[in-house]
Amino acid sequence: MNDLGEIAPAQVEASKVSFFQVGSEDAGQRIDNFLLRIAKGVPKSHLYRVIRAGEVRVNKKRVDVTYRLEEGDLVRLPPMRTAAPPPQKARAAEFPILFEDEHLLVIDKPAGVAVHGGSGVAFGVIEQLRAARPNAPFLELVHRLDRETSGILALAKKRSSLAALHEQIRAGEMDKRYLALVLGAWPNLRQHIRAPLLKYLQGDGERRVRVDPGGVAAHTVVSLKERFPGAALLEVELKTGRTHQIRVHLAHLGFPIAGDDKYGDFAANRDLARAAARPLLRRMFLHAWRLGLRHPATGAPLEFEAPLPRECQQCLEEMRDAQAV
């Protein structure tokens, strides 16, 4: 704590009055979004209640929920009850770095690691990176990857960088390419898939996505890379970034991704895992291998590539060997 009584967001205590002086990275953010970020475990309804009641003060004055913070503002936070015990502390971890400067961090995420906590996952990539970099003033995901998808993941190290990169995504300027192994005899060298996607919940509460006329527009471009008996390696380009877009679009056409445990061919996945003396494939074969964007500060074009993980490369090599016999 400094002379102003400033407390870092991770140190805000629900049982005590605390203060936070706004730096450049929080300037421009709405007060409600700011509180939602720093007051972990406090019910959203309670946060809005204390703002409206005037218990949250900025420079000793009441503000409404739409107030946008300015650099140098002193925010007073009242004691706030938490809805649950403090969450489990994330274990610090680093991941293979493809690029890093003061604005941007690009990593190669392994399969099986969620990008963030939630839905039964205590913590993910973002929480582990923050734990590994406790002095980093800002670190946020630019986009997301499914837990079982490996490959390139971009994170912003400044709020201004995050805004600039999100604008590139909205404008369709970010080039995201994936490699996917699908089951079936893929027919075309290049194909556009335009099919609306709708999110829904199953009876057990699990989130799923399906092609549905009432869904949101989704556009995927697929190029054939290599054919195998009963399978094909595809390069997939995302024109929109919907949840499970690649997996659902390909499965909808009858070409599920190998190893996909949500939308895939479960019998074929089992056979792939038992196809050799050692397992041929025990994960979903979907890898974010190329990302193109403009640097959020300079505008310079950047392109990153992440090679296929060893297990995916070995799967292809064994399929090629079997094809050559």
User: How far apart, in whole angstroms, are the C-alpha atoms of residue 201 and residue 205?
Assistant: 5
Backbone angles phi, psi at 106, to 5 degrees: -125, 125
Q: Does the active-site annotation cover 212?
A: no
Q: Which of 26, 32, 108, 146 is the catalytic position?
A: 146
Place of tokens 């056979």: 271
User: How far apart, in whole angstroms, are the C-alpha atoms of residue 180 and residue 308?
Assistant: 10
DSSP labels, 193-250: EE--EEEEE-TTS-EEEEE-TTSB--EEEEEEEEEETTEEEEEEEESS--TTHHHHHH
Quick one: how far is CA 30 from the chain centroid?
23
Quick one: how far is CA 66 from the chain centroid?
27
User: How far apart, in whole angstroms, are the C-alpha atoms of residue 154 and residue 241?
Assistant: 14
Closest CA to 218 of 201, 244, 239: 239
Closest CA to 150 of 306, 318, 317, 319: 306
List Cβ neighbours of 264 (8 Å cut-off, separation of 6 or more).
183, 251, 256, 257, 258, 284
Q: Are 169 and 242 in contact (CB under 8 A)?
A: no
**Catalytic site positions:** 146
